[in-house]
Amino acid sequence: MDLIENLVELDGVEKVFDVRRRTGLLRREKTQVRAVDGISFSVPRGEMVGYIGPNGAGKSTTIKMLTGILTPSSGRVRVAGIDPSRERTRLARRIGVVFGQRTTLWWDLPLRDSYRLMHRMYRIPDDRFKVNMARCVEQLDLGELLDVPVRQLSLGQRMRGDIAAALLHDPEVLYLDEPTIGLDVISKAKVRDFLRDLNAERGTTVLLTTHDLTDIEQLCKRVMVIDHGRLVYDGALAGLHEVGESERTLVVDLERELPPVEVAGARVVKVEGPRQWLAFPASVSAAPLVAAVAQRYPLVDLSVREPDIEAVIAKMYADRSAL
Ligand SMILES: Nc1ncnc2c1ncn2[C@@H]1O[C@H](COP(=O)(O)OP(=O)(O)OP(=O)(O)O)[C@@H](O)[C@H]1O
């Protein structure tokens, strides 16, 4: 039994790319892009962590260093105790990778044949292969798809096929890069349920990159936010609201159309007939505000809306770039 507690460890990791930019008809200038700029974090065995950030933040570069595709410019990376860029093949047996935008399956082959090839490539023991295949086929609903060439599968079907392919060799760590991108609501729910069960039953450690914050809300207690190559947040999803200084909304239905409500601690952000939307800081209680509105206005109904996590993150980014 392996006793390594942190399955994924990064310490002061940087990745700098040399790029040549065209600056004139014949002139090119050499510049550097600091895609990852001194990142440190660790993920204990069995955790499911969200790794999010805006486009170009450095998420894919991080994942590529964790798989050994890219070598860090400086710093230290360890996955299951292995230095990924030095021992990429040995590491490949212990990790699974799913890139939502790319498939690891053979385009012209039926799913079943892709899985057979992986069985051989990873030298998966026959009994493990059988058990894992049966489990994936059942839980990811692949039964009817096994004999269909990959090119004929829908995006959602292909994604389920890819997730199965990444798990046939019992990886301890699974990296998922946009696993629900472009999927319909039902396929998304299937993928999320499967990942939740995988983590609960097998204790598979999962690092999840996504633009769909519902993925994070439903699957990850911990979330890391990367921006301009730096880790700007690492903690509970709920805590992001505080960092982003987000607002909640009190929606009030008045008896009739009235000018914007005036109460201390809130401001009207929208009016539609007798309905008004009042924004107030998420960190304060709604009760005094509700009392103040009820006392001074003819109130019919009200509700409080929680901040949209997407808006919180957008605000966080905006605040940072204003610094
Ligand atoms: N091979 C490369 N050569 C030069 N620059 C690169 C290379 N790969 C990535 N970059 C740059 O590094 C930065 C981080 O890119 P990365 O793909 O890691 O971001 P990301 O967070 O995954 O973005 P997205 O959400 O759009 O996939 C970007 O500025 C990108 O242009």
What is the tens place of the pLDDT at every residue in 127-157? Answer: 999 999 999 999 898 999 999 999 999 888 9
Tell me whether residue 320 is in a domain: no
Q: What is the CATH number of the domain that holds 159?
A: 3.40.50.300
* Percent over 70 (pLDDT), the chain: 92
Q: What is the mean pLDDT of residues 254-270?
A: 93
Q: Is residue 166 part of a domain?
A: yes
Average pLDDT over residues 7-35: 89
Judgement on whether residues 268 and 216 belong to the same structural domain of the protein: no
Q: How many distinct structural domains can be found in the chain? A: 2
**Do 230 and 296 sit in the same domain of this protein?**
no
User: Cβ(182) to ligand 1 under 6 A?
Assistant: no
**Does residue 257 sit in the same domain as residue 226?**
no
Instruction: Please state which of the ranges 4-13, 31-40, 232-241, 252-261 shows the lowest mean pLDDT.
Output: 232-241
Q: How far is the CA of 99 from the centre of ligand 1 (A)?
A: 15
User: Are 141 and 268 members of one domain?
Assistant: no
Domain extent, residue 57, equals 6-241
Q: Give dist(CA 35, CA 82) in Å, integer.
A: 23
Residue 253 shares a structural domain with residue 205: no
Q: Which of 15, 61, 181, 228 to mutate to test the pocket of ligand 1 (most atoms within 8 A of CB)?
A: 61
123, 197: one domain: yes
Neighbours of 74 (CB within 10 A): 11
Task: Classify residue 149 by its DSSP letter.
Answer: B
ipTM surpasses 0.85? yes
Burial degree of 109 (CB within 10 A; 0-12, 13-18, 19+) = middle
Residue 56 in contact with ligand 1 by CB distance below 6 A = yes
**Residue 317 in domain:** no
Written as one string, the DSSP assignment of 279-302 is EEETTS-SHHHHHHHHHHS-EEEE
CA 300 to ligand 1 center in whole angstroms: 51
Residue with the smallest CA separation from ligand 1 atom 31 is 56
Taking residues 311-316, report their average pLDDT. 68
pLDDT at 212: 81
| Assigned domain for 217 exists | yes
168: closest CA among 126, 200, 197, 203?
126
* Residues 69 and 101 both lie in one domain: yes
Q: Are residues 148 and 231 in the same domain?
A: yes
pLDDT tens for 211-229 read 887 888 889 999 999 888 9
**Using a 6 Å cutoff on CB, does residue 225 contact ligand 1?**
no
182 and 35 within one domain: yes
- What does the pLDDT read at residue 21? 81
Cα(14) to centroid of ligand 1, in Å? 13
